[in-house]
Structure 1
């Protein structure tokens, strides 16, 4: 994958995190992602920086979703 593709995918994941935050009406805990200091608009950063940021953002999003799913009641299934 080239750098442009990583920038695009990084931007899409950032949009997913924003949409999820609006869905839960709160802020995600993006500690790992924030420490990397690489945003989708950081075009001067390397491809590897964006790759690391993407994976960190994905981990932070899914970690929050796992916590959220543990606290939400599960809807009964229709048989």
Structure 2
């Protein structure tokens, strides 16, 4: 994987974290990631540093979600659509 791709994935992971926090109003603690002192805009850092940051951030997000109770989703047949669209 090229460094540019890692930078892009790193930024996407930050967006995933912010999106999750916005939707759930639940802050993800990222102490290990923060201790690395690297962000996607630090393009001068080497490829390994971004890979470590990406994997650490991903691990903290997944661990956070894993330790939360599953949300209750109420499903009713009245609100379900009768038609299904398929993309070819």
TM-score by shorter chain over 0.5? yes
| Gap regions ≥5 residues in structure 2 | 76-88
Structure number with higher helix proportion: 1
Displacement after TM superposition at 1:64 (Å): 0.5
| Gap regions ≥5 residues in structure 1 | none
What is the RMSD of the two structures over their aligned residues, measured on CA atoms?
Answer: 1.8
Q: Which structure ranks higher in relative contact order (CA pairs < 8 Å, sequence separation ≥ 6)?
A: 1
Work out the CA distance in 2 between the residues paired with 1:73 and 1:16. Answer: 18
Match of 2:70 in 1: 72
When the two structures are aligned, how many residues end up with a matched partner? 76
> Based on CA coordinates, which of the two structures has the bigger radius of gyration?
2
Work out the CA distance in 2 between the residues paired with 1:20 and 1:73. Answer: 13
In the TM superposition, structure 1's runs of 4+ consecutive aligned residues that sit over 3 Å from their partners are 72-77
